[in-house]
Amino acid sequence: MELKEIALNDVHEELGAKMVGFAGYNMPVRYSSDIEEHKVVRDNVGVFDVSHMGEFILKGPKALDLIQKICSNDASKLFVGKAQYSCFPNHEGGIVDDLLVYKLAEEEYLLVVNASNIQKDWEWIKQHNSENVEMIDVSDETSLFAVQGPNATKVLQKLTDEKLDEMGYYTFTKGKFATYDDIIISATGYTGAGGFELYVPNPVAKEIWNKIFEAGKEFDIKPIGLGARDTLRLEMGFCLYGNDITDTTSPLEAGLGWITKFTKNFINSENLQKQKEEGITRKLVGFKMVDKGIPRAHYPILNAEGEQIGEVTSGTMSPMLGIGIGMGYVQKDYSKNDTEILIGVRNRQLKAVVSKPPFIGK
């Protein structure tokens, strides 16, 4: 399959990025080293081009009703300038995708979805759009830059008059940024390092990218690839769709009860409520390796007796801790913190311990 190109494809190639196919897009996986890039974001400031993400606008008097029907979180709590994490439950107890919902204006919402699911999500929403809410797919016209790290605010503040340090987590503003109007500046991210995400129209994406790097020069700002994005999110225990949550994992099993609000009806809410009342039988947990070794997706998780009790969904070496960390589903009896488990790493069983994320900063 021909890979799609993001607007700044040539910029990344000139920067010497290793480009790989990801979710159908040719994306920068690393510019120098995964570990170095990871630490730049934790300690300083880096910029990810995550323009492969999908963006849909839903608008009109019935937009909120549609969002309430398809999303697990309660979007009626949103105000203009507020975003929330949510998911689309399917009819079978699993998850179609996870997403962010932004309230742009009264009767206008932005939904930000995973690149791998753009087509699937669009069809899913369309299928449930019985009230003819206006739907606009702006994915191919929108670039998304995540400027993340403890120095992100200082860099970006040079380019806007919006008061960035006063913005709460999961709030956003649509304002002037680097001489361009109507840029969405969102206090969100997927790293746990703090910072902002900028939704930028493709025609000005390169200029804005360059201005961010000019402003960040005094901080030694660096471009960061998707490799470090994965290790950063994993250190925080953030779910990745396709790994930790899928069309067969329930949001309750995934620890996403906090975005599953039974204050309203939504697709499959009745069954999920029943699951909540009856209790789940398996649970997504974080774990740290005790023995030397690195967990990877699909490795078996075993109890002390060597019986399989679950499976790893994501794993890596934590660049900050220098040990293997991972997430996976286990039978509920084994989900308590500090439970000793074994990870089947090829022909060996390595010791690990259940540990509630985030893995760092405790």
Is 197 a binder of another protein (CB under 8 A)? no
C-alpha 50/C-alpha 197 separation (Å) is: 9
Under the criterion CB under 8 A, does residue 46 sit at the interface with another protein? no
Site for another protein contains 55 (CB under 8 A): no
Q: Which one of the spans 4-12, 154-162, 176-184, 291-299 is the region binding another protein (CB under 8 A)?
A: 291-299
Contact 354, 341 (CB under 8 A): yes
**243 near another protein (CB under 8 A):** no
User: Residues 201-240 vs another protein: string with x where CB under 8 A?
Assistant: --------------------------x--xx---------
Least Å from the CB of residue 230 to another protein: 7
> Which of 138, 101, 95, 146 minimizes the C-alpha distance to 118?
138
Q: Distance between CA 79 and CA 171 in Å, rounded?
A: 9
CA dihedral 306, 311, 316, 318 (to 10 degrees): -70
Binding to another protein by residue 35, rule CB under 8 A?
Answer: yes
When the beta carbons of 97 and 230 are compared against another protein, the nearer one is 230
**Shortest spacing between CB 254 and another protein, in angstroms:** 23
Candidate ranges 129-137, 192-200, 214-222, 314-322; the one touching another protein (CB under 8 A) = 314-322
By C-beta, is 91 or 346 nearer to another protein?
Answer: 346
| 292 belongs to the binding site for another protein (CB under 8 A) | yes
- Neighbouring CB atoms inside 10 A of 37's CB total 25
> Does 18 engage in binding with another protein (CB under 8 A)?
yes
Whole-angstrom distance, CA of residue 17 vs CA of residue 48: 12
Amino acid at the residue 56:
F
Residues 293-312 that bind another protein (CB under 8 A): 293-294, 296
Candidate residues 33, 157, 171, 271; the one interacting with another protein per rule CB under 8 A: 33
Contact 236, 258 (CB under 8 A): no
Specify the residue for token string 């069809």.
123
Tell me: does residue 30 bind another protein (CB under 8 A): yes
Exposure string over 85-123, b if 16+ CB within 10 A, otherwise e: bbbbbbeebbbbbbbbbbbbeeebbbbbbbbbbbebbbe
Q: Which residues are at the interface with another protein (CB under 8 A)?
A: 18, 29-30, 33-35, 227, 230-231, 292-294, 296, 316-317, 319, 346, 348
